[in-house]
Structure 1
């Protein structure tokens, strides 16, 4: 596995965590729409993607993310709108003439060719000199640490190794942008995690702009500098992984990215200590930070992540927010436990607690009556 250095992580996370408005985008997507007969897959979507960025398109199946990727690659033509690369409209330019390459989910390796021949295939079509092709293939094999397998064929290596060769072949032509369509979907969880780290390190080494399509929230949070959340052909939020998780713009985003608790209700009172949120189903008032610039009457939801919550047998006097309930299920995951607590709402409350000590961490069981509590600043009010 390639080593993901601390320096590369810091650079990757910090470079695009800042404001991007002052930077010149590599790709400008302007008002793109794509319809298939009466079905609209992409609806008036605009987005900027920057040089050396690792950008993730995240969303459920059918949200339009793969269609958008195929339009970037040139395999689909927009119904309307523009795709600009360094200011040049690419809509009428065929895929083979774009400085963009795409790595498919199936990897699409030629089974009758060796690994080095697979990597060289696209280079030969560029009419490169033989010695230059040989040098570039060796460089790519070294990049993905597959030199000793160069003479093997795809059927003689593992799925993870095929993924590396597909990546090497996609990068061999040195595209300005690499598009990745669910590239790790076929890998097991451990190998997927290792490959994600390798992918991040390769992207950082080369400085190539990567755009990945995935429905795996953890994968997007791991590899991307910024994430675009898609829903029914629209981009509903574009932000860093931290911002996406901690400050979702809507209930849809909050529930799609990780586990969470979304309480339905309304603001009952506005005070200096925080806005008081009254639950619809139970007679309980909770406290949350003010939602700046939004009238209190527009508030519909309170979002609280499960890891922000504490579970205890006794009521915590210093906590402003608490709910009493009964544990109806426990998911023990080794490093943490997830408690499902019935507090009288339509859905149980999810609370997660780390098992930080082997023998002394307090564990709760199904049927226990407990208090679930959290600090006001750990909740987020939402309008939609």
Structure 2
């Protein structure tokens, strides 16, 4: 066991490491991609900050391989688990393959996609046609009248139809939920909800941290300070999906070690000089909740993050060594200028690197702004740290 780890904190590490493989197996990516020849690849869909509708294809990383971009003409579709999220189909406007997302399954199916950047389009797949019918935002009611026949209970020619059924997701899905059972009694119609694809990655991390105090209320707070880079260790769970956003929850065990050195401290005219060295040492159990924003998704994925930090001080060992020129030995005095709990904010950035198959190695720099203790006025601590993490 590492010497700097407090016994209370050390108990948590083997427990979470024992649980990590099971949690990772349950929540690791389970995406699939179907090629045009029918072969199915398993791996992870990689999505960047843009191209959320996959107009230009999809970036997919097969298990144990590099990420590759697949064009709509190269695949039949892709999804998560057993659910197809997008399928490839010839778009009527271009005559070229494109990717559309199913929103209604049944005798008459509905899809949504993009005709051009920012131009959402809805499509119908009719039982007697192999091609999609693109619904035009201006003439969609006439298209409904021609395509959705055989249901007297549904008045498609109503003067209020466009108001009751605007060109929108809720209207398209509601209309087909009414039409399919009417035209095809006994058939099944259901809405297709997009797969969220939430992934939970437990991991461990180690690193180095250095603290600097600002606005220390004690008299020695203005004296020159020396900061030591101290090791720390922790566990974390990273939560993400195919979007650029995610979250991270951490539990870390850290040390703070700062030395204030005062030479020839003012003594009010006394006939001796005083040198004073103040050692501020404490150990913290830190909990952090951070929001992550990935700038790019790939084998190397850079990110920025920020969030809230809470600490509980487990041990104080702060003291002063006061050396008077008229005495042979220094006097040691305990210092109790810190409270029991600290809180603040943190922000930083880094990158994850895919290694060992599905594991992720993370490198991160983080800067924290903390108020130490619940005393008033409270010392303010700034912490710079470098993290090395491995998630499973």
Asked if Structure 1 and Structure 2 have the same fold, meaning a TM-score greater than 0.5 normalized by the shorter chain, the answer is no
Q: Which has the higher contact order (CA 8 A, sep 6+)?
A: 1
Q: Which has the larger radius of gyration?
A: 2
Q: Higher helix fraction: Structure 1 or Structure 2?
A: 1
